Amino acid sequence: MGEREGVIVNAPRSDFFKVSLKPVSHCNKIWCSIRRPLNNSPKVGDNVIVELADTKNGRIKKLLNMEREISYPLVANINQQVLVFSVEDDLDSHITSRFLVEAESHGVEMTMVLTKTDLVHQKSKLK
């Protein structure tokens, strides 16, 4: 069936990946195994060459050049990271700091979103 370029969008196991074929769209995704040996372990965000078996399955044949990789969470080729927290929950400062430091050290733009702020305002009015 040929070869196509794609991006890994999900990695439920270390040897099985969901790849969005280019041009990227929600209906253009296939499941892929790995064709060994590869130069590195594939991760979410990697650009890849896929050898198609049929319209829903393929094999990752080659990893393409990577622009950026961060280790927490382990992803590649990102330029922005969005953290979403509820103000009702206690923020874990260790985890938050870890995300912030990792993003800063790799030049990844970080955005933090706090949700449910209206509920905090309502609780303060009730007191």
Average pLDDT over residues 72-97: 81
Task: Judge residue 13's burial from the number of C-beta atoms within 10 Å of its C-beta, 0-12 exposed, 13-18 middle, 19 or more buried.
Answer: exposed
pTM for this model (two decimals): 0.64
Segment 34-71, tens digit of pLDDT: 877 777 788 888 999 999 988 899 999 999 987 777 77
All structural domains of the chain = 3-63 (2.40.50.140), 79-126 (no CATH)
**Both tokens assigned to 36:** 């060994």
Helix, strand or coil for residue 89? coil
Q: What is the distance between the alpha carbons of residues 109 and 60, in angstroms, rounded to a whole number?
A: 29
What DSSP designation does 114 have? E
d(CA 85, CA 44): 22
Closest CA to 34 of 54, 55, 56, 11: 11
